Amino acid sequence: MNTNHAESPGCHPSDLRPLSRRRFLTGCAACAACAALRPLAAIPASTIADESLLPSDKAKVRLVFTHLPPQQATWPNIGYDYEGRKKELTARLTKACPDIEFVPATVKNVAEAKQLLDADQEIDGYLVYMVGIWTGAGVEIAAAGKPTLFVDDLYGGSGEFLTAYAAAQRKGLKVGGVSSSRFEDVAEAAMSFACLKKMRASTVLDITEKEQLWGDPKAIQEVWGTKVHRLGAAELSRAYQMAERTQAERWAKYWIHKAQKVVEPNRAEVTRSGAMYVAMRDLMREHRAQALTIDCLTLFYGGKLPAYPCLGLFQFNNDGLVGACEGDLPSTLTMLLMTYFVNRPGFISDPVIDTSKNQIIYAHCVASNKVFGPRGPSNLYQIRNHSEDRKGAAIRSLMPLGEMTTTIQFNPTRKEIVMHQAKTVANIDEDKACRTKLAAEVKGDIRKLMTEWDRWGWHRVTYYGDLRAQIETLSALMGFKVIMEA
């Protein structure tokens, strides 16, 4: 096949122009019109996106406003209406961050900061909003070791913000910083607290026969508080045998109807995938889990899986939970963390690098077709067989083009995150290797991008959007070092 051929996700795959988000949305409307001409598939009565599975506890964040008494001459100015400003900011944060309970306080000096720290109980973190200078309170609060976010109320706290943030970074404290006139930047950073709270209330199912495959469950629990519950092939086989076959058939019909085309698998194969999905869904409900990863290749090649799980993992990711390949715990936790943070699914891949085109090609047999989140638009997908052994059913997702992506991997053992960015340019049509192949032009040095794979493994997780700033803030609050690999 022609390795340069790219298919654009829309009603007309022969239109190969780069696809912007605007064209993507327009194409989705056209696809809906095309679908309306066909008989509607019965939508399954329930999906995995049970709200009862999602963590509901709010993060409790101390909202600390720091400033001197208003009668003192300093930035922003003498006589400044601090009380009015604090009331306004509290209201805006409360509205913008519904998953956070803000507990406001005002601190005017280091002594008051110490008193606040001594009195605080069960606080998940601190948002220090510097509306004036110079109190010294921010440095004192950050030194306590809790995740802390410094925010500069521009022209009010600027001098203290810059010096305190720089000092905290140099000391390796768990401190993020926002200095922006765009309030949404503050709200997005603040949602890190809610994300970390949800991680502490989450469970990952790891289906494998191996004692340890990828990742360290102990390190995961120490860093995020997330429980990893291991199941063997026998438990999955039991769930598969008990899976309601009517549901499996309805899912198969639904996936086939929604697909642009089905290439190799027959209806019976897709129905087996439907039963595997129902089995995995039932296990997630049974164990109150929000994510599932499965050592699919080992188990399938060993005759311990009656069907590949690819379509089921695809459905999990579309619906706002996490389905991850190959028992890869670091990628699974990366996906769960980011699902809570940005509400978008990640795409695990085995990348291929083409230096002649300054491209990285993200390749795998599981990929969401709702890259902007469960409530976002859908792109086209095809149902193929699994690439390596030409068996089962898998997904080829034709993802939107012309979009910046952010690709990452968290390592809880080393407390590091690796990251690069690239702009999507093509959905590669090539028979070799995994079915979904998304090509993207690398932002940075592509040769540098070839230097971290021995330490991090072959997998990365790709997200649509320029998420670098948000990820750097989240990483800072966890005390992780960011490694830009391109």
User: In the chain, what are the domain boundaries?
Assistant: 21-32+201-484, 60-199
Query: Can you tell me the distance from the alpha carbon of 215 to that of 221, in angstroms, rounded to the nearest whole number?
Result: 11
* pLDDT value of residue 52: 81
pLDDT tens, residue by residue, 281-329: 999 999 999 999 999 888 889 999 999 999 999 999 999 999 999 999 9
Segment 368-377 shows an average pLDDT of 96
Alpha-carbon distances of 457 from 331, 334, 364, rounded to whole Å? 11, 14, 15
Query: Can you tell me the distance from the alpha carbon of 229 to that of 206, in angstroms, rounded to the nearest whole number?
Result: 6
**Res. 472: pLDDT tops 70:** yes
Percent of residues, the chain, with pLDDT higher than 90: 86
Query: Can you tell me the distance from the alpha carbon of 51 to that of 290, in angstroms, rounded to the nearest whole number?
Result: 10
Domains 21-32+201-484 and 60-199 share a fold: no
Which of the two residues, 233 and 215, has the higher pLDDT score?
A: 233
Contacts of 352 (CB under 8 A, 6+ apart): 360, 361, 363, 433, 437
* pLDDT value of residue 301: 93
Which of the two residues, 36 and 206, has the higher pLDDT score?
A: 206
* pLDDT value of residue 50: 67
Query: Can you tell me the distance from the alpha carbon of 153 to that of 90, in angstroms, rounded to the nearest whole number?
Result: 13
Contacts of 230 (CB under 8 A, 6+ apart): 205, 206, 207, 208, 217
In this structure, are residues 325 and 295 in contact, taking their beta carbons and an 8 Å threshold?
Answer: no
Predicted confidence band of residue 1 (pLDDT cuts 50, 70, 90):
very low
Look up the CATH number of domain 21-32+201-484: 3.20.14
Query: Can you tell me the distance from the alpha carbon of 218 to that of 96, in angstroms, rounded to the nearest whole number?
Result: 34
Give the residue among 297, 429, 302, 443 at the shortest CA–CA distance from 359.
443
Whether omega before 134 lies within 30 degrees of 0, making that bond cis, reads yes
Predicted confidence band of residue 46 (pLDDT cuts 50, 70, 90):
very low
**Res. 227: pLDDT tops 70:** yes
Q: Which CATH number fits domain 60-199: 3.40.50.2300, 2.40.50.140, 3.30.420.40, 3.40.50.1980?
A: 3.40.50.2300
* pLDDT value of residue 36: 34
In this structure, are residues 282 and 242 in contact, taking their beta carbons and an 8 Å threshold?
Answer: yes
* pLDDT value of residue 213: 67
Average pLDDT, the chain: 91
Helix (H) or strand (E) holding 316: helix 310-318
Query: Can you tell me the distance from the alpha carbon of 440 to that of 418, in angstroms, rounded to the nearest whole number?
Result: 18
**Res. 44: pLDDT tops 60:** no
Give the residue among 407, 419, 418, 410 at the shortest CA–CA distance from 463.
407
- By three-state DSSP, how is residue 204 classified? strand
* pLDDT value of residue 42: 54
pLDDT tens, residue by residue, 399-454: 999 999 999 999 999 999 999 999 999 999 999 999 999 999 999 999 999 999 99
Long-range contacts of 443-447 (CB under 8 A, 24+ apart): 443/404, 443/486, 444/420, 444/484, 444/486, 445/486, 446/353, 446/355, 446/358, 446/359, 446/360, 446/486, 447/355
- Answer whether 0.85 is exceeded by the pTM: yes
**Res. 43: pLDDT tops 70:** no
Using only C-alpha atoms, the chain has a radius of gyration, in whole angstroms, of 24
Query: Can you tell me the distance from the alpha carbon of 412 to that of 480, in angstroms, rounded to the nearest whole number?
Result: 8
* pLDDT value of residue 111: 98
**Res. 40: pLDDT tops 60:** no
* pLDDT value of residue 211: 76
* pLDDT value of residue 297: 86
* pLDDT value of residue 410: 97
